[in-house]
Amino acid sequence: MTTLGILGAGDVARALAGGWIAAGHTVVIGSRRPERGDWPEEVRVAGLAEAAEAGEVVVNATPGRDSVGILAPLRRHLAGKVLIDVANAVELGPDGFATALVHPATSLAETIQAALPETRVVKTLNTMGPASVMADPARLSTNPAVFVSGDDAAAKATVTELLSDLGWRPEWVLDLGDLTTARVPEAFVLMVRPLFGALGPVPFGLAVAR
């Protein structure tokens, strides 16, 4: 089993932690304000650097706008590791929905990779909501897709195994290619507001018909 360091302590971190603990993995939550709170007893809560150091694989579940600033000081702790980036870096409107991408000419994943050249960044799990869908994709009425982008084939294989542990079937996992392909799924967040307008606040995810 793998020790996963999840950087961030919000709904995404809670959903992923629960899913991976159920699959037998060890989870260390990294927070700027590490507090025990109501985390399950199986979860260790620590500072960001400690969680990054502890994780064999590390997950970026920090707010996308702040991710690069949070992760860059952890370069030494993240060197050589697989970093799963699940965040979306967006400008928010007054209603809390995304109105624009922070990195419109590139992607958050590529920007993180540039800041952490010794880390193997893989983008995934950023085209669904709410966060609980990440760890329970079978709750959707249509078989969803999850996209994987990254420059390192071995890192993507590791991430694919961890996705399987969350309930993502092999046929639902689509490897898009290198990290530049993360630009397309990252742009999907701009569709969330109109989707909510059309469907209401229901669980959602992208599906690929073929």
Residue 36 is predicted with a pLDDT of 79
When pLDDT is averaged across residues 153-165 and rounded to a whole number, the result is: 98
Task: Note the pLDDT of residue 37.
Answer: 82
Q: Inform me whether the pLDDT recorded for 126 exceeds 90.
A: yes
Residue 129, pLDDT score? 93
Contacts of 99 (CB under 8 A, 6+ apart): 90, 91, 92, 93, 190
Interval 184-199 mean pLDDT: 94
Residue 122: the pLDDT is: 99
Look at residue 143 and tell me whether its pLDDT is greater than 90.
yes
pLDDT recorded at residue 35: 85
CATH domain 3-205 topology: Rossmann fold (3.40.50)
Nearest Cα to 83, choosing from 50, 106, 116?
Answer: 116
Question: Is the separation of the CB atoms in 86 and 48 below 8 Å?
Answer: no
* Per-residue pLDDT, 67: 98
- Mean predicted confidence (pLDDT) in 20-42: 93
| DSSP type of residue 37 | T
Calculate the average pLDDT of the chain.
96
Break the chain into its structural domains and give their ranges.
3-205
For CA atoms 31, 6, 19, 181, the dihedral sign is positive
pLDDT at 206: 93
Report if pTM > 0.85. Answer: yes
pLDDT of residue 43: 95
Confidence at 102, pLDDT banded by 50, 70, 90:
very high
> Is omega for the bond preceding 130 within 30 degrees of 0, making it cis?
yes
- pLDDT (0 to 100) of residue 210: 87
